[in-house]
């Protein structure tokens, strides 16, 4: 349930185990909505920003450096809405 303590995202109904910073306890949090900050899928199972709700994509820096430094945040966008560039 939202707000419960967790060790990994698989423990949460939302699929997001969220931690505000490196010292805080991780808790289940809702997935990010459109235009909210997000993280691509985490290899660690705990997020500083939750991944996007179903159907949205996290437009983020997907480099390996970003995933190691936890700075690979982006914004949730609807791929159906985005204009073709």
User: What phi and psi, each to the nearest 5 degrees, are found at residue 14?
Assistant: -75, -20
Q: How many residues does the chain have?
A: 85
Mean pLDDT of 22-29: 91
Which residues span the domain enclosing 62?
Answer: 4-77
What is the distance between the alpha carbons of residues 40 and 9, in angstroms, rounded to a whole number?
13
What is the distance between the alpha carbons of residues 58 and 42, in angstroms, rounded to a whole number?
12
Instruction: Work out how many domains the chain is built from and give that number.
Output: 1
pTM: 0.76
pLDDT-based confidence at 64, cuts 50/70/90? Answer: low
Which ranges in 3-78 belong to alpha helices (H)?
64-69
- 62 assigned to some structural domain: yes
- 65 assigned to some structural domain: yes
Of 76, 53, 71, 69, whose CA–CA distance to 61 is shortest?
Answer: 71
């Amino acid at each position: 349930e939202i707000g419960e303590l967790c060790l990994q995202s698989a423990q949460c109904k939302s699929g997001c185990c969220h931690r505000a910073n490196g010292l805080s306890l991780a808790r289940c949090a809702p997935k990010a909505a459109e235009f909210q900050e997000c993280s691509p899928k985490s290899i660690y199972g705990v997020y500083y920003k939750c991944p996007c709700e179903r159907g949205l994509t996290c437009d983020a820096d997907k480099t390996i450096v970003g995933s190691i430094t936890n700075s690979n945040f982006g914004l949730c966008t609807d791929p159906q809405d985005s204009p073709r560039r």
